Chains A and B, each alone.
Chain A
C-alpha cells in the first residue's frame, strides 16, 4: 500500500523511519537503499522528483527543460490566504516553480523525454504551468523523436486557477494526440496518488499504463464516492491492484523492477538504438 513515511520521534528522528503501513521502524539509510520501500511490508513511500530520477535515469544524463517557467495568479484567488502566497510557499519548500519537472534523460542508455510530477508541490495539482510544461514536453519529444515517460502524482486540477486549470487537461491531451501520430511510445507511470483531472487526461492515456504498488488511482475522491453509497468502500478501492483486476492498468511494477521494465518496453516499442530514436512510419 502506498502511504506516508513517518519520522520516528525523539532525537534519533533523522536516523530512523517508521513505516505508516506496518509500523516497522528501520534505519533511514537502509530504507533509502531499498528505494524508499518498506523493508518489511513493501509499502512504497512517496518520492521526490530527484529520488525518482535517481531510480530510473542513468547517472548524469538528466537535463531539465523549461526549469524557469513560472506562473502568476490568474484569477486573484483568495481562500484562507492568497494563492500568490501559497505559490510562494510551495516554491520555497520545493525549490522549483511549479508541480512538474520536465526534461530529457537516459534510461539504460536510451534517451527519453520525461516528466515527473511533484506531489509535494500543492498536491501535484495541474495549473497553467504544469499544462504548458507537459504540452511542451510532448512537442519536444515529437520534434526530437524521443519516447515519452511521465510519472503522474497529482490530486487533479488546481482549483485556485479555476477554469484555466480544467482546460489544461484538453491542452495536454491535444499535444499528446499530435505526438501519437509519430508512432513513438508514451509510457504513463501512475504513482500515488493519481486522481481527478490528471487521471482523466494524460495519465490514463499511456500506450501502456504502469502503476506503482498500492497507488490510489481514480477520478473522484474517496470521500465524495462514499456519499453516493451506503456500503463501506472496500479497502483496496481505487488501489493499483484493484485497477489491475478491473483492466484499467497494464501492470503493477515495483520500484526495484521499474528501471529494467522501462528499458525493456522502450526497446520493444521505441525503435531506440543507443539513444538515437528513429521514426519508422507504418508501411
Chain B
C-alpha cells in the first residue's frame, strides 16, 4: 500500500554545493525560512474555488489556522493548515502560526464537515507548536488538541497530511492523524523544538546545544521515513521550496493527488481501520516483553 518516493531515496539527502550533507539544524532553518511557501501559497496553487471558513462558534476565529473547502483536481475536499505568515504584520496577525484552542476547534468543525459530507481531508502542517499562553490554557488548549486527535482518528474519509514546514509537538499533531503523512524534504517534525530540547536537557539554548538537540531528536524527513512515521518524502526544488514555490506546489500536488486517488478507492471503514493500524504500529518494533527483548531488541 505504501509507495516509496518516486524519485528514490537519495532525493532527500540534499547536499550543499560543496557536497556536504545538510545538518539537522540547517534543515530546521530551511523549514522555518520566512519565504518558504505556506498553507495559503499551496491553496492558491492547488485548490480551486477555495472557500475559507472562520470561527469556532464558541469564542473566536484563529488566524493561525486556515480552514475551508474547495476543489483539488476537480474533486471537493476539506482543508486545514497552519499559517505562520510571511511579513511581520501577517506574522503578528497569525500569532506566528501558533494556534489557540479556537484554532483547533475551528479545525474540528472542518473534520466534522469532512465526515458529514464525505470530503477527503487535506492538512498542511507548519507550526512551531500550539500557543503556550494564559488564555490558551484557560480555554483548554490540551482538550482542544486531544479532541482533534480523536476526531481525526475516527474519520471515515481519506486524510492526507502534509508536513510543509516545521511540525512542532502536539500543536502540529492535531492536524497530522492522516492515512498517510507526506513530508517535504526540508520539513521537520519533532516532539519539541531543538531550542526547547536544549533548554531542558542542557539548561542552555546556545547555538551548539541547539544544533546537537536537532541532531539527537531525529526530526528530518529521512529520519521519519526510517522510523516509520511518514509514508513519503516529497522532493523540493533545488535550494528549497522557497526558491520556486510553483514548482514546489506541483511536486506536492502530484504526491497528494496520487495518494488521494488511491485512498478514494477504499471503503469508509477500511480508511478508518487503516489509519488506526498505521498509528498502532508506530514505535511498536521498539517494544517487546523483556525475555524477547534481550534476544531480539538488544542485538
A interface, CB within 8 angstroms of B: 66, 68-72, 74-75, 77-80, 97, 127-129, 131-132, 135, 157, 159, 161-171, 173-178, 180, 195-197, 199-205, 217-221, 224-225, 228-229, 231, 233, 237-238, 242, 246-248
Contacts and interface: CB of A to CB of B under 8 A. Distances in A.
Contacts, number: 204
Interface string B203-225: 00000000000001111000110
Contacts of A166: 169-170, 173, 190-191
Interface of B is mostly: helix
Contacts of B197: 159
B26 interface: no
A164 B227 contact: yes
Interface residues of B, number: 60
A169 B173 contact: yes
A169 B171 CA distance: 12
A159 B141 contact: no
Contact of B134 (A163, A237, A248): A237
11 contacts: A66-B289, A68-B291, A79-B202, A128-B283, A167-B229, A168-B283, A201-B145, A219-B132, A225-B133, A231-B134, A238-B137
Contacts of A78: 216
Contact of A162 (B131, B153, B173, B191): B191
A77 B153 CA distance: 30
Interface stretch (B71-79, B114-122, B231-239, B273-281): B273-281
A163 B132 contact: no
Given A70-B287, A164-B229, A224 B132 contact: yes
Contact of A165 (B140, B174, B191, B223): B191
B2 interface: no
Given A173-B149, A248-B143, 13 more contacts: A79-B216, A128-B284, A128-B287, A157-B192, A161-B191, A163-B218, A166-B190, A167-B229, A171-B279, A173-B150, A200-B170, A200-B174, A231-B134
B146 A203 contact: yes
B1 interface: no
B130 A219 contact: yes
Contacts of A197: 169-170, 191
